[in-house]
Amino acid sequence: MDYIRDFFINFAHSWTTWISGGLPGWAVTVVNFLLGGLILVMMPVIATLALTWMERKVIGRIQNRLGPNRVGPWGIFQAIADAVKMLIKEDIIPDRADRPVFNLAPILIFVGAAMLWAVIPFGRRMIGQDLNIGALYVVAIGSITTVAVLMAGWASNNKFALIGAFRVVAQLLSYEIPMVLSIGVVVLVVGSMRMGTIVESQWVPFCLVLPVAFITYVLAAIAETGRAPFDLLEADSEIVAGYFVEYSGLKFGWFYIAEYGNLMAVSAITTTLFLGGWRGPFAGAAPVLGPLYFIIKTVLVIFVLMWIRGTLPRFRIDQMLAFAWKVLVPAALVNLLWVAAALKLPVPQAVQYAVMLVGNLAILGVTLTLLGQSAKQHAKRHGLAGA
Amino acid sequence: MTDTMTSALPFNDAIPGAVLETTPNGLVVAAEKLPELARHLRDQQGYDYLAMVTSVDWPQYLEVVYYLCGVAQPKPGLVLKVRLSDKANPVVPSVIDIWPGADFQEREVYDMMGIRFEGHPNLRRILLWEGFAGWPLRKDYRESYYEEDTKPLKSRHPDGSHLWAEDRVPWKDNVTYPVGVDPDLWVSPQVQYRRIMGVDQGGNGSSLNTERVLVNMGPQHPSTHGVFRMVLAIEGENVVGLEPEMGYLHRCHEKIGERNTYLMNIPFTDRLDYISSMSNNLGYVLAVEKLMGLQVPERADYIRVIMAEFTRIVSHFIAVGFLFNDLGAYFTPALYGVRERELILDLFEAASGSRMMCNYMRFGGVSADLPEGWIKRARETVWDRLPRVLGDFETLLSGNEIFLARAKGVGHLSAQDAVAYSMAGPMLRASGVPYDLRKAAPYSIYDRFDFDVCSRPEGDVWARFRVRMDEIYQSLRILKQALDGIPEGPILAGKKQYQMRVPAGEAYSRIEGPKGELGFFVVSDGKANPYRYHVRAPTFINLTSLEKMCIGHKIADSVVILGAIDIVLGEVDR
């Protein structure tokens, strides 16, 4: 029973004990690291297979359709069929493309998506590498995407791809700042960048304490993953597919995998930072429940992102950059300031949290009021009725 | 011609010698006096709207036909005709300075008939490709697989059995090339978009050193609503020039229409704007009925109005849904619109036997009576279902902040510009011009119904969305009155027949199609086939103002502005 209660950790211990019987110490380490790396690298692929099916089902329901229902029960093998199709497609490299860069971009973008998984805690002590700079690592690795996308857009020798790449640079750089600022708030409260510690110190999920940081992070994360309503980098109705318009076959597949891998990673990080990670009822007594809670929370976040995608139209580039610089960045900065001040109060932690919550709600209220007023003024300036 | 006769001619006092002759079908105008007369008509006489420009190839001369009417103060139509007896080198002064809406229409006349318009800044082929040889709508033009001037072709039914011409004629056997043309050596001519690249103006005129980039949006692009190409000149994300390129779906509808008999053309009009085939049928049969002088039974008139209004609802649902698609809403509103369309298409199918290509109207009535229970189903749709769905649309779409931010103030077109550019339908009304042919020049039995003309002063994408939504409510009002008032009785004047006797003459019928003024210009010489058959395609002419609306906006906006015009390529390219 005890074995079952913390199944994953105990299983790992048994495995290590078993292979230690025949191998020297350094070889055990090498084997274990390779195995762990393999599992983490597989995560984006698994995410793609699961999430494409889920996305098509969810959006199908939103759109009064059934979604895939031909390949296997409830169409669950649709993703496999799509993967096979993608594998056997012709790999086309456009004339006058910058070949080395063109070929390198899909690899790089996949590497970025896979490396994010190293610091995500699936459960207590279930983490690839609990770096003491985990949160910083997430931000740093997230920036690799920008480089890869710019490479893809430039090397394709295609105007749509280039416009997509321009947009990516503008968008990702702008949204990196509110994202870092909202992660900074969490780090400040916890006092550590270690992802494991961040989860363990959330006796109340931070989304209830720091709603502004939570909302800012989710918005910035949607923009970072390039999903609706911020999917300008691959806006299908404007620039066809943006930076990966010239990719086909498996290379396109890498972009696809990276997109869904990023989606899942971002949802997992949201869960870790703001939703209490693997914490939940009885997770302390039975750590085997941890990964279950973690997956449920992550899927919930993903569902919300899919819901947004299925229902909202897209922003325009100037509106979206204005939103980042004029709304998100100031709100996140004020929030950071308030939280830093609240932490200095000589009161118990619960009171500090209450102070933070009050401040957050005030920031939220002021931001929304200002937004509404500016929309009204804009309408008045342009002599538009309604609004 | 004596002096007394000359002075009796209209407008002779203002522009002496401009009008040469009055005919029952319009005023014959001297070519060199045309711009002067046109300016006078626009400024002094109130003919501010150029409804249609087309041309007819008569045995002795080529004739350019202009249909004018007044929009600011509604006036009955005025027809100007310019006759050009030099068929080898026909030249007319362009009226593009007076009515910018003549732009594409003059290019089309040049493309099809070879008439050059002096002073037109961009006189290129528009529907056909650069390098095409010949003028297809001239009577002496013979297309590939040409057999006879008119259908039915005798070769298709030898000894009463059926044989396809393509089976009988080996490929290319009667394809002829002009002297000196070898198709294998042919190189596509380069079209230089000098104008939108700013080459003629000498750079972009700004001190900032930026480079203009040409981007081809389409013909294979997900949001051009078919095979349409926009050549965008962009600086960064800003659109600084735009040139529409069309004709990828061109099949020379009008030439085929001249080969067909009158009856054969009815199903052919279905293929114009394939979203709203019933309206196309109605426009065409009204034109031919005008020539024949047919009276339509009352029940048939009611059925026609019911079908036309259902078509308007279908078309507007599609337009609104796909506008959101262009905004990036990932098909959800579009599919909600398509769902309602399917339910209305069920009604069309029950009445006509076909969902999209209805082929339902006939000269003097409709082809079949409404089946048992049809009225009941239609009533359920009109009274219960559609108002509920419209409520959903209002709550889900009309108040969406992103939509408002994207649509308000985008693609602005003032009322003056809208009239000058010959905009029609929701595009015109969204610019603050309450002009609806159902009120301004009632056709069929529209004068019996009580409804409002929907108009908005803003002139932007949001206004176009709003006008379409409001028009659905008005269509429901008309439908309620029509379904309540539909009488019993015959549905066709006379008996069904294959061959019509259409007396010689010409007729232009205008109806308020879902996308604008849908006009059919039919010229008969008394034979079994129309001598000339021209379609005034509303979306084709609405595209004239696309560049004006897009310049200064972002790439993303140009897609939305195009979506708000609601083009259907079957009609644009004909």
DSSP code string of B488-533: PS-SBSS---SS----SEEEEEEEEETTEEEEEEEEE-SSSS-SEE
Q: Could you list the mean pLDDT of each consecutive 10-residue stretch along chain B, which spans 574 residues?
A: 55 77 84 86 85 90 90 82 88 89 90 89 84 85 79 72 62 64 73 59 51 79 81 82 86 88 89 89 90 88 92 92 85 88 91 88 87 90 90 84 83 87 90 87 88 87 90 92 89 80 87 90 88 91 88 86 88 87
Structure token pair of residue B81: 């005709």
Q: Which residues of A8-47 are buried (b: 16+ CB within 10 A; e: fewer)?
A: bbeebeeeeeeeeeeeeeeebeeeeeeeeeeebbebbbeb
For the ranges A287-291, A337-341, B45-49, B359-363, the lowest mean pLDDT is seen at A287-291
A232 in Cβ contact with A168 (< 8 Å): no
Query: Residue A32: which H helix or E strand, with range?
Result: helix A25-62
Question: How many other CB atoms are found less than 10 A from the CB of residue B15?
Answer: 18
Query: What is the mean pLDDT of the segment spanning A65-69?
Result: 86
Contact yes or no for A313 and B409 at CB 8 A: no
Residues of A with CB under 8 A from a CB of B: 59, 62-65, 159-160, 163, 166-167, 228-229, 231-232, 235-240, 309-319, 375, 379, 382, 384-387
- CB A240 to CB B336 under 8 A? no
Domain span including residue A34: 20-381
Q: Is the pLDDT of residue A381 over 70?
A: no
Q: How far is CA A56 from the centre of its chain?
A: 19
The minimum CA-CA distance between A46 and chain B, rounded to whole Å, is: 24
Instruction: Say if CB A263 and CB A256 are below 8 A apart.
Output: no
CA distance B406 to B460: 10
Closest residue to A237, CB basis, from B222, B237, B335: B222
DSSP state of B294: P
**Chain A residues in contact with B236 (beta carbon < 8 A):** 166
- Structural domain spans, chain B: 3-118, 253-573
Q: Pick A228's closest partner by Cβ from B330, B404, B557.
A: B330
Stretch A33-52: mean pLDDT = 82
Residues A304-332 have a mean pLDDT of 86
Residue A131 placed within a domain: yes
What is the predicted pLDDT for the residue at B196? 61
Q: Residue B104 is inside which H or E element, if any?
A: helix B102-113
Helix (H) or strand (E) holding A356, with range, is: helix A349-381
CATH 1.10.645.10 fits B253-573, yes or no: yes
Mean pLDDT for all residues in chain A: 83
DSSP label at residue B117: E
Is there a contact between B234 and B554 (Cβ–Cβ < 8 Å)? Answer: no
Which chain B residues have a beta carbon less than 8 Å from that of A160?
215
C-beta of residue B516 within 8 angstroms of C-beta of residue B553: no
pLDDT of residue B439: 86
The Cα A378–Cα B4 span in angstroms is 64
Residue of A nearest to B557 (CA): A316
Amino acid at B101: G
Rounded to whole angstroms, how far apart are CA atoms B354 and B359? 8
What's the CA gap between B298 and B296, in Å, rounded? 6
User: Tokens 């350019």 sit at which residue?
Assistant: B64
Please tell me the predicted confidence (pLDDT) of residue B1.
41
Token duo for residue B262: 């009158």
Q: Is residue A14 part of a domain?
A: no
| 3-class secondary structure per residue, B531-556 | CEEEEECHHHHHHHHHHHHHCCCEHH
Residues of chain B with Cβ-Cβ distance to A171 below 8 Å are none
Indicate the Cα dihedral angle B436, B437, B438, B442, nearest 10°: 150
* Contact residues on chain B for A309, CB-CB shorter than 8 A: 330
Strands (E) across B258-385 are located at 361-362, 365-366
Beta-ladder partners of B91: B116
CA angle B168–B172–B175, rounded 5-degree value:
110
- pLDDT of B280 reads 92
Side chain identity at residue B299, one-letter code? R
Out of B223, B237, B332, whose CB is closest to A237? Answer: B223
Residue A286 lies in a domain: yes
B290: how many CB neighbours lie within 10 A of its CB?
17
The minimal CB distance from A312 to the residues B329, B409, B557 is found for B329
Domains contained in chain A, number: 1
Residue closest to A245 by CA, chosen among A354, A98, A92, A49: A92
**Chain A residues whose beta carbon lies within 8 Å of the beta carbon of residue B409:** 382, 384
How large is the average pLDDT for residues A102-112?
A: 88
Of the residues A59, A160, A167, A237, the best mutation for testing chain B's interface (the one with the most B CB atoms within 10 Å of its CB) is A237
- Which are the contacts of B447, defined by CB distance < 8 A and separation ≥ 6? none
Q: How far is CA B108 from the centre of its chain?
A: 12
> Is the peptide bond between B219 and the residue preceding it cis, with omega within 30 degrees of 0?
yes
**ipTM of the complex, rounded to two decimals:** 0.81
**Residue B520: predicted pLDDT:** 92
Residue A386 pLDDT class (50, 70, 90 cuts): very low
- Asked if B408's CB is within 8 angstroms of A382's CB, the reply is yes
Across the interface, which of A63, A231, A316 has its CB nearest the CB of B554? Answer: A316
Mean pLDDT of chain B: 84
* Residue carrying structure tokens 């004909």: B574
CB–CB of B133/B176 below 8 Å?
Answer: no
Residue type, A125: R
pLDDT at B315: 92
The predicted-structure confidence for A126-156, as pLDDT tens digits, reads as follows 776 777 888 888 888 888 888 888 888 888 8
Question: In this structure, is residue A200 part of a structural domain?
Answer: yes
- Report the sign of the C-alpha dihedral through residues B325, B328, B331, B335, in that order: negative
Residue B345: per-residue pLDDT: 92
Which pair of structure tokens corresponds to residue B186?
Answer: 């042919």
pLDDT at B457: 86
Class of domain B3-118: alpha beta
pTM (two decimals) = 0.85
Q: Using CB atoms within 10 Å of the CB of residue B545, give its burial: 0 to 12 exposed, 13 to 18 middle, 19+ buried.
A: buried
Q: Which range scores top for mean pLDDT: A38-52, A88-102, A242-256, B522-536? A: B522-536
CA geometry: angle at B413 spanning B410 and B415, to 5°? Answer: 145
Cα B354 to Cα B277, B347, B348, B373, B422, distances in angstroms: 10, 10, 7, 18, 33
With tokens 């010949």, the residue in question is B134
Residue that is written with structure tokens 């009815």 in the block: B266
